[in-house]
Structure 1
């Protein structure tokens, strides 16, 4: 018979894994929302980029409070709190659509993201602690794979639920003002059903977690009392400082690539929004998921810093192609970027903490907070697109981001080489011993 405690751990792991899928799913609905809200509210590209800003600024604001909540109330209470915020934000899409106020949509997205910040801060370490320590990496990779699955499915499903087949731009332009306003209001209202269902599902999951007896796990709180005083010390560690900078630009690049893909593909290749969403899911989402597995395998024979450097150089070239190419070549270039940037977040994270020693915990928090790049750099993308009247030229922003990542990888590679030379005996010493 199976040990009851083993069954409890397995069911708890299944429930925690559902969280990885759910936050991956809602994150990857943002590329659907951006063109949808842009059309419904007649926004510029820069204004539509506020969708990403509302989401990723929450990670910067809520990262430290989420850690404090986990420390004081525990993982279960934090997860339930995150789920309730997630559900509340989803339900806010109903008044947002009813009032036809863009700011209310942004507030709903910010509320969802606050809940996701708490969930991610709690679920990632909890999975590693839930069971045999020797299989922690296997558990976190299993959970992360469902996040990748969500990145594939969300654009495909979301496009068919939200990107309604209403009047085209020419038909809208020919309508009287009142009829045009009514048509756009109907399109904006199409988000109410999907997000209401999402909110109800999240509430149901919160109820399950309330009654679920999660196994007690011991979290590492060593040095928490000195955490406030160690921020400045952590920033003095070069690898942490460079890692935070690189992660800022990487997350910004990833958000630009995924969030503006539908707008990009409709302009560069002339495909419909629904077809563009299919390319985003089956193309970029699948490439991102497969690239993570391929990159992990390559790291067995290629040093992570070297692989990151090579991948960054390839992404620089592909971003240049994305700026200039037309048709399916432009879409293929962006799908290629998704494949080669798939390893960047975890690799930058690990290289940034390499040699951090006692500052690793605080350094980890600083690198996580640097994902605020996902809130700021899409605004630059939108500004460049609006000024040049060409969304393809916005890819100059991810291109510059990949240049920074290549610098980070090259610096880390140089440090690894220096350490290797210092550890190896000099050729003169070897000659003398011979």
Structure 2
């Protein structure tokens, strides 16, 4: 291993731990959707307020997070993000005690605020930390940590929350979340302190991106003058919406097809295992054998094909097709960040914030899916929504990321 690689391995491992944490918190949403739907007798649209409350914070808080990072730096911003997440997980405890769905949504929104700050700091940090051409490789490593955490959280919370029949009252059913979220709160507080005191995370400057003579920022006075970024934000909106729909609806979809909740609770892990497999390929193939742009193109095409198969097949085969979307989605995130941030230089932090705002696709598009499913009375036919999302990703992979002027 070269000295250059050694210089960022340590910080990358610490960032990997953070990705594990917000993977654990994020991927439990699929279980919470089914759990709250049962406990509060919700329809599809209302149950997907879980993803709306969680992801809409990215839109509202991304720009403020960028401003916070300018004052705190990356490391202190990560620590603050963890502390805010701890406040959000703590809110789950009184929400369970008084059986308040709105208060649970407040807790999810607060967790999302912390994650917004954490993501706004950690993604560009991983991108800038080493050579840009291998950025997708590093983010793939972080994705493995994220998805392993998701598998563990879905196994853990699926077993805790979806096992057995419905309780006599919502308060009895909701007591199941209290102890896990107490533990999660304590872990987040400890991690916030550890990151704050850590000497293993050096501050890096976004100006490092312009090393090698990149003069793009000298030509532009606004972050919106970079088409690869602006189109990347739209593409990220489409991608996150598609990923959340595929990952967080699969349990409810399985239940709607007649599978028992105890069995359907494991379906989300299929998605995550396939995402892990794709991340493993990304680490091996990028950038030596496959470019980041090619990964994005293949992901979009596979997403289009598998979506059609999911709609046209039935039963467990259709469920597996939704799970395979995890494989299609996995390398979009690590491939898109370095492509969208390429050449931004001093605009990297604000560019990162705008990309984080694109995560609001995970708030809005699952609600659209839920409303569509309720309107046409078919959770399967509602997956047609995914086709235009993958189509835009294909456009970005072919043309959008290459544009350097309007």
- TM-score normalized with structure 2 length: 0.84
How do residues 28-67 of structure 1 correspond to structure 2 at under 5 angstroms?
28-67=27-66
Is the 1:9–1:215 contact (alpha carbons within 8 Å) kept by the matching residues of 2? Answer: no
Q: 1:210 & 1:240 partners in 2: Cα distance? A: 31
Q: Deviation at 1:13?
A: 5.8
Query: What is the match of residue 119 of structure 2?
Result: 120
Query: What is the match of residue 71 of structure 2?
Result: 72
When residues 346 and 111 of structure 1 are mapped into structure 2, their CA distance, relative to the original with a 3 A threshold, is: same
Q: 1:238 pairs with 221, 227, 230, which one?
A: 227
Q: 2:378 & 2:148 partners in 1: Cα distance? A: 31
Q: 2:272 pairs with 273, 285, 289, which one?
A: 285
Q: Deviation at 1:307?
A: 4.4
User: Highest CA radius of gyration, 1 or 2?
Assistant: 1
Q: Deviations over 1:363-397 (max 9, x none)?
A: 44322321211111111101101001111122111
Q: Which moved more, 1:373-382 or 1:66-75?
A: 66-75
Query: What is the match of residue 21 of structure 1?
Result: 20
Q: 1:36 & 1:65 partners in 2: Cα distance? A: 32
Q: 2:357 pairs with 369, 373, 379, which one?
A: 369
Is the 2:44–2:374 contact (alpha carbons within 8 Å) kept by the matching residues of 1? Answer: yes
When residues 364 and 381 of structure 1 are mapped into structure 2, their CA distance, relative to the original with a 3 A threshold, is: same
Higher relative contact order (CA 8 A, sep 6+): 2
When residues 15 and 340 of structure 1 are mapped into structure 2, their CA distance, relative to the original with a 3 A threshold, is: closer
Q: 1:34 & 1:210 partners in 2: Cα distance? A: 33
Q: 2:9 & 2:326 partners in 1: Cα distance? A: 32
How do residues 187-202 of structure 1 correspond to structure 2 at under 5 angstroms?
187-202=173-188
2:246 is the counterpart of 1:257: yes
How do residues 78-97 of structure 1 correspond to structure 2 at under 5 angstroms?
78-97=77-96
When residues 79 and 308 of structure 1 are mapped into structure 2, their CA distance, relative to the original with a 3 A threshold, is: closer
Q: Which moved more, 1:49-58 or 1:397-406?
A: 397-406
Q: Deviation at 1:351?
A: 3.5
Query: What is the match of residue 350 of structure 1?
Result: 338
| Corresponding residue pairs, total | 389
Is the 1:306–1:413 contact (alpha carbons within 8 Å) kept by the matching residues of 2? Answer: no
Q: Deviations over 1:59-88 (max 9, x none)?
A: 122222222222212344323321221111
Q: 3-state SS of the aligned residue for 2:206?
A: coil
Q: 1:400 & 1:132 partners in 2: Cα distance? A: 33
When residues 20 and 314 of structure 1 are mapped into structure 2, their CA distance, relative to the original with a 3 A threshold, is: closer
Q: Which moved more, 1:195-204 or 1:128-137?
A: 128-137
When residues 102 and 412 of structure 1 are mapped into structure 2, their CA distance, relative to the original with a 3 A threshold, is: same
Q: 1:413 & 1:196 partners in 2: Cα distance? A: 43
Gaps of 5+ in 1: 1-6, 168-179, 224-229, 417-434
Q: Deviations over 1:234-257 (max 9, x none)?
A: 324333232222111111111111
Q: Which moved more, 1:95-104 or 1:202-211?
A: 202-211
When residues 390 and 132 of structure 1 are mapped into structure 2, their CA distance, relative to the original with a 3 A threshold, is: closer
Q: 1:73 & 1:363 partners in 2: Cα distance? A: 18
Q: 1:248 pairs with 237, 240, 253, which one?
A: 237
- TM-score normalized with structure 1 length: 0.79
Is the 1:247–1:349 contact (alpha carbons within 8 Å) kept by the matching residues of 2? Answer: no
When residues 137 and 403 of structure 1 are mapped into structure 2, their CA distance, relative to the original with a 3 A threshold, is: closer
Gaps of 5+ in 2: 1-5, 210-218
When residues 41 and 129 of structure 1 are mapped into structure 2, their CA distance, relative to the original with a 3 A threshold, is: same
Q: 1:196 & 1:369 partners in 2: Cα distance? A: 29
Q: Deviation at 1:131?
A: 9.0
